[in-house]
A and B are shown apart, each in its own frame.
Chain A
């Protein structure tokens, strides 16, 4: 997997939709079992014991995935993997590949992209929001 795979758009996708490595694990779980509708407790149980997430964390990530058009949400709050457009599908596949082949890099990029307030200060001076 080349460095070019971590393109600007992929990193934008990560920053918007994948705030942590746990979120990445959750998203990949949803993608693997894309026929299934997941509730927060079910997803949390499925990820354990390798990944420990509280149900409220899972619900929060579901909200982020929904905001990024990655999942469909049923009235009973269950979600199903359903990327809104093909570019998102491609990003999730890149995520899956990166997770398999370059996990250390992926983890580093995910955490580097998290905006803290100091980075927000620097970002404020960008005239064009990229």
Chain B
């Protein structure tokens, strides 16, 4: 059961990352790139945790990937709020 859930979750994170990547391509908004990267890290975290197994000591370090993913999301939020004027003004040129 655990393996099934773990695989499903990892797959889900990867698909979500794919969607975020597409949104990034559509909107050119860095926020979506950050979310895509973060969700890839969450997927990696999930896969590594499963692969290393519950008894392995090293498993604690795989969760750094998850934390890193969320830190990237936090960074993207900060970045979005600090650079407000950037995104839509390129339609000015014509």
Given a CB threshold of 8 Å, the question of whether A touches B is answered with yes
Kindly state the interface size class of chain B when it binds its partner. Answer: 10 to 19
Q: B77 contacts which chain A residues (CB < 8 A)?
A: 125, 127
- Let me know if A102 and B94 touch, CB within 8 A: yes
Kindly state the interface size class of chain A when it binds its partner. Answer: 20 to 34
Q: A3 contacts which chain B residues (CB < 8 A)?
A: 92-93
Q: By DSSP majority rule, is chain A's interface helix, strand, loop, or mixed?
A: helix
- Of all chain B residues, the one with the shortest Cβ separation from A104 is B94
Query: A104–B94 Cα gap in the complex (Å)?
Result: 8
Q: A113 contacts which chain B residues (CB < 8 A)?
A: 88
Report if A128-B81 is in contact (Cβ < 8 Å); known contacts: A113-B88, A122-B31. Answer: yes
Question: A6-B89, A11-B88 known; 9 other A-B pairs, CB under 8 Å?
Answer: A3-B93, A105-B92, A108-B94, A112-B88, A113-B88, A119-B27, A125-B80, A128-B81, A130-B84
Binding site for A on B (CB under 8 A): 23, 26-27, 29, 31-32, 76-77, 80-81, 84-85, 88-89, 91-94
